[in-house]
A and B are shown apart, each in its own frame.
Chain A
Amino acid sequence: MESENSNDSIIKVENLVKVYKVGEIEIPAIRGVSLEVTRGEFVAIMGASGSGKSTFMNILGCLDVPTLGSYALEGTQISKLTRDQLAKIRNNKIGFVFQGFNLLSRTTAIENVELPLYYKRIGTKLRRELAMQALESVGLKDRAHHTPNQLSGGQQQRVAIARALATQPSLILADEPTGNLDSRTSVEIMEIFQKLNDNNITIVLVTHEKDIAEFAKRNVFFKDGRINLDMQVNPRKNANLVLESMPVNIEEEVV
């Protein structure tokens, strides 16, 4: 999967440093990280809490800016961009999936999925069409008009994935996407990610669970703000096969 062709580089991070300032005290969260991710990769970033992996994720997602070092997303240097340009990149190139789902409450699934398309200035009709396609790809077409509190955790996370997919980004970033889910539902979510990755969508996810990381193709380990291990996963787990061996989650189907 590694490619020397620079056109296929999605993420290229060099000597990245992030320091948080709390009053007079400076707390280094990332102390010099270099990493390259190419198109079609499925990377799981692992590490204990406080290892800097979430901070790294936020910088990758253009939600936060590094203190030092460079970050290029599909060849674009992020550190030189304005707030609005960053917003545009988040909208067009990145799909976010969070641990806590982060759906707008009292807003239906389809409206949540439409939101990034709305900020992309896409007209009402096409917007609904694209959002429906995205919901269909996560198997939730029939729940389009339910609000988040009428959906189970797994379903809410699938809506969030559909929202991330809506603008057809080149990169999906997932921050502990299975953290709030039971084990079978977690595997179901990983199944979706594997399916998306098979369609050549690059995925970077943060997790602290080894089980989950084994569904990815490459694992990167963070410790004290540095990468201390970067390896290909072998053998890689197939979520489809894992699911067959697991008991069916009855509650999930009732909702």
Chain B
Amino acid sequence: MNILNVIKVAILSLGRNKMRSFLTMLGIIIGVAAVIAMLAVGQGAKSAIQTQIQSLGTNMIIVFPSAVSQGGVSTGAGTSIKLTPEDAAAIANECPSVEYVSPVIHTSAQTIYKNMNWRTEIQAGNTNYFQIRNWTLQSGNFFNENDIKSDANVCLLGQTVVQNLFGTSVNPVGQLIRINNLPFKVIGVLNAKGQTAMGNDQDDIIIAPFTTVQTKMLGWTWVNVILASAQSSAAINDAEQQITEVLRSRHHLQTWEPNDFTVRTQTDIATAAESTSRVLTILLASIASVSLIVGGIGIMNIMLVSVTERTREIGIRMSIGARGKDILYQFLIEAIMLSLLGGLIGVLLGITASDLISSIAKWTTLISPESIILSFGFSGAVGVFFGFYPARKAAMLNPIDALRYE
């Protein structure tokens, strides 16, 4: 038996009922298109989250203090050892896998320019802060080592702050603003970063030298966190370990004592976010697969009708020597043709649909070859699964009963 012949016979018999074949395929078409579109949305969301996490910084490592507990008694945040600029300097000197380090202080403050005012977040770091957080300049300059040493009253503004204090008509660079009643000179404007995955506006920010904020604004000797960046993404784990060792020895921790600080890498954040988006993708795809299964039931229904309609034909074929297997293949191939053809159209429709979603809803969509292979393969499997029962029913017919069927 020639497989091409069977396929030819299947196409001919499907062609005899064009409308019916098309409507049957429609279930599969919609199912496959839905799976592809939903996977594209899910994967698009995933890649968008990855881009946003990348915008936090490159190979970033965050060190923040944690409350220590001794003998099961938590000593509380006030008694815990704070991170200091000296810790940051030690990390810079003693950790070979670390490229940049910056002590960071963040606080919120009221800012005033002429008759405008705006409450915003002050991030204070050293000159490395910009590289670690991937900040780029739109105009002006970053602050330099001299500004750090001399506690200079200089700052750089994020786009949101620029809009709220200056509007669009004034160039902020060179202007004086007041932060908590201290005058600061604007020396630069930062390029926009957009929102974080959590919806925070990253551009609602003012960046100033940490020495200035430490001494003139807050009177602190410690800092909130230490930001560092690893040499490469491969070096993140090494860097994490080196930082832990340096800080443990600087804080005089015995081997049995837990860390009084926490080191978090960007990989940790990315992993958390990815698992969220993976759940989302699986959820969307499984809802879409339900429609694929419904489509399969449609195929089964039509194949059962077809077997009943063609009972006499089956009888004739059997009377001249068709075996059960021949009849089984004939109907099974028909069902598979229906679902594969439906799958093919569904793939095209799915690609069109995800293009539409990304252009209308402005969502990032990403069609991976895997999702096409997956859904196309799944549609074929649906054809085999739901085509088998009707085909088997046809193959099991008694020749004489089939011949007599009216």
C-alpha gap A215/B400 in the complex (Å): 28
Nearest B residue (CB) for A105: B313
Known: A102-B403, A124-B2. A63 touches B319 (CB 8 A): yes
Interface code B304-327, partner A: CB below 8 Å = 1, 0 otherwise?
000000001101111111111110
Q: Taking the complex as formed, is B1 at the interface, i.e. its CB lies under 8 A from any CB of chain A?
A: yes
Q: Taking the complex as formed, is B399 at the interface, i.e. its CB lies under 8 A from any CB of chain A?
A: yes
Interface code A56-67, partner B: CB below 8 Å = 1, 0 otherwise?
001001011000
Per a CB cutoff under 8 Å, which of B16, B321, B399 touches A119? Answer: B321
- Are the C-beta atoms of B319 and A92 separated by less than 8 Å? no
Q: Taking the complex as formed, is A196 at the interface, i.e. its CB lies under 8 A from any CB of chain B?
A: no
Among A96, A103, A164, chain B packs the most CB atoms within 10 A around the CB of A96
Per a CB cutoff under 8 Å, which of A61, A84, A163 touches B325? Answer: A84
- Are the C-beta atoms of A87 and B403 separated by less than 8 Å? no
C-alpha gap A102/B318 in the complex (Å): 12
Per a CB cutoff under 8 Å, which of A84, A98, A116, A163 touches B324? Answer: A84
- Are the C-beta atoms of A84 and B399 separated by less than 8 Å? no
Per a CB cutoff under 8 Å, which of B1, B312, B315, B319 touches A118? Answer: B1
Q: Taking the complex as formed, is A104 at the interface, i.e. its CB lies under 8 A from any CB of chain B?
A: yes
- Are the C-beta atoms of B321 and A120 separated by less than 8 Å? yes
Known: A102-B403, A121-B1. A88 touches B323 (CB 8 A): yes
Q: Taking the complex as formed, is A90 at the interface, i.e. its CB lies under 8 A from any CB of chain B?
A: yes
Among B1, B325, B399, chain A packs the most CB atoms within 10 A around the CB of B399
**Whole-angstrom distance from the CB of B17 to the nearest CB of chain A?**
12
C-alpha gap A55/B316 in the complex (Å): 17
Residues of B within 8 A of A115 (CB): 317, 320
Per a CB cutoff under 8 Å, which of A88, A102, A167 touches B319? Answer: A102
Q: List 22 A-B contacts (CB under 8 A).
A: A58-B400, A63-B400, A63-B403, A64-B399, A84-B325, A87-B321, A87-B322, A88-B321, A88-B323, A90-B320, A90-B321, A91-B320, A98-B403, A102-B316, A102-B319, A106-B16, A118-B5, A119-B1, A119-B321, A120-B321, A124-B2, A164-B320
Tell me the B residues contacting A by CB distance below 8 Å. 1-2, 5, 16, 312-313, 315-326, 399-400, 403
Question: Lowest 5 CB-CB distances: which A-B pairs, in order?
Answer: A91-B321, A87-B323, A119-B321, A116-B320, A63-B400
